[in-house]
Amino acid sequence: MKLATQDNGTPDGALVVVSADGTRFLGASDVANTLQAALDGWATAEPALRALADRLAGGEGESASNLALAAPLPRAWQWLDGSAFRSHGELMETLFGTEPPPAGRPLMYQGLSHQFLSATADVPLPREEDGIDFEGEFGIITDFVPMGVTPEQALAHIKLVVQINDWSLRALAPIEMKTGFGWVQAKPACSVAPFAVTPDVLGDAWREGRVHLPLSVDWNGKRFGDALGGVMEFGFHDLVAHAASTRSLCAGTIIGSGTVSNSNFREIGSSCIAERRGIEMLDEGKPRTEFMRFGDTVRMEARMPDGGVLFGAIDQKVIRG
């Protein structure tokens, strides 16, 4: 089942169910006005939403060609972003002389959740000098998760899978990171691909709490990376359990994978500029690739192994804010 949020001018938009190919939709207001409301009562909402998905599979629904879509959750009560790809972490540790995290502990920060940009919204940022960068990620959305769940229990709380661009300002990131307090200025609002899908949509590509698909990233129309999501050191269920160790998680908690990265990044590319610059620093002594300029575009999409539409594409432009 594929869910999306129609931009109807309200802060949370209107929940819609989308056909598997993303071309048709049915409004879901009889079930829940918003995706947050559906997640708040998922046990009853899910079967009713699946009934709408069945009708779409039977050919019903309106054309989605003129449907204005917001992020699946245009705002959320909680956004926690991991950094679960070791090849990315190891590269950063090599470059900055930082220590690896303690074994068995995922890296995670709490980020801005009061705004998630749509997949096609312009991204207003104040200064090019801040080092504007994208981060292609996979993510999940939970229902309510009680404090203290095990990773095995956590798996059942993963209700939706999403694709995220975690906008980052690299000139500010190390300054904030050095304080130990995490990022505020370095992490403005993220963007999210239009369709949030239930894990079953991924078929075999959803295994061990991981998305076993490549994330294709294009910067200004040129392929930048095709890293695979399946090599996360920790699965999303581990990240959920980590987050819920000392707190319960509200329904609608979004958890990110961190920038998708593979150890053969020299061949397949990267999901953020910082990683490519890091490789250049290692290989050539200094970074050659500059960060983004106002007017630059980034496109990110993961498709099914047969080429079918999955989350839809993020395709957006950075502008002076």
Contact set with a second copy (CB under 8 A) = 75, 77-78, 80, 83, 98-99, 101-102, 105, 107-115, 124-126, 130, 147-148, 169, 172, 175, 177-186, 188-189, 242-243, 245-250, 253, 321
**Whole-number minimum distance, CB 256 to a second copy, in Å?**
12
When the beta carbons of 108 and 193 are compared against a second copy, the nearer one is 108
**Whole-number minimum distance, CB 171 to a second copy, in Å?**
11
When the beta carbons of 51 and 184 are compared against a second copy, the nearer one is 184
When the beta carbons of 223 and 247 are compared against a second copy, the nearer one is 247
Contact yes or no for 60/18 (Cβ under 8 A): no
Closest to 254 (Cα-Cα) out of 118, 146, 150, 116: 116
Q: Are strands 314-320 and 123-125 parallel, antiparallel or unpaired?
A: parallel
**Whole-number minimum distance, CB 213 to a second copy, in Å?**
26
**Whole-number minimum distance, CB 178 to a second copy, in Å?**
7
Amino acid residing at 25: F
When the beta carbons of 86 and 242 are compared against a second copy, the nearer one is 242
**Whole-number minimum distance, CB 277 to a second copy, in Å?**
18
Dist CA 38 CA 34 (whole Å): 6
Sequence-separated contacts (24+) of 20-24 with Cβ below 8 Å: 20/56, 20/57, 20/201, 20/308, 20/309, 21/308, 21/309, 22/64, 22/194, 22/195, 22/309, 22/312, 23/63, 23/64, 23/65, 24/56, 24/60, 24/61, 24/62, 24/63, 24/64
When the beta carbons of 107 and 121 are compared against a second copy, the nearer one is 107
DSSP 286: S
When the beta carbons of 186 and 202 are compared against a second copy, the nearer one is 186
| 102 contact partners, CB below 8 Å, separation of at least 6 | none
- Reading the block at residue 96, the tokens are 């900055």
**Whole-number minimum distance, CB 285 to a second copy, in Å?**
25
